[in-house]
Amino acid sequence: MVQIDIDPDKCRGEGVCRAVCPKGGRIYKIVDLGGRRLAVVMDESSCMGCTLCVSRCPFDAIRIDFKKRSRLRDVDF
Ligand code: SF4
């Protein structure tokens, strides 16, 4: 599993991540925090690591840590 980090200072909650992600409905949720929209990660386990969300975010707000995935691969093999 990877780790997905959303920078709350950059995110404007437009939901591009949720729309472009093949598993967007499972992974991303757009929330309203006192009138401010923000994307939050609900379930990273569904992430396939395609990086579509990272490349399409208009605010460069998403980072994905693949090291977590590598550690799991080491254990699996
Ligand atoms: S890397 Fe791909 S599968 Fe993972 S959250 Fe981003 S768009 Fe979705």
CATH fold label, 3-76: Alpha-Beta Plaits (3.30.70)
**Alpha helix segments (H runs only) across 12-65:** 16-20, 24-27, 52-56
pTM of the model: 0.85
Q: Return the residue whose CA atom lies nearest to atom 6 of ligand 1.
A: 53
CB of 25 within 6 A of ligand 1: the answer is no
pLDDT tens digits, 18-27: 999 999 999 9
Q: Is the pLDDT of residue 2 over 60?
A: yes
* pLDDT tens digit sequence for 23-48: 999 999 999 999 999 999 999 999 99
Q: What is the number of the ligand 1 atom nearest to the C-alpha of 64?
A: 1
Evaluate: CB of 42 within 6 angstroms of ligand 1: no
Residue 33 alpha carbon to ligand 1 centre in Å: 23
The token pair that represents 41 in the structure block: 């990660």
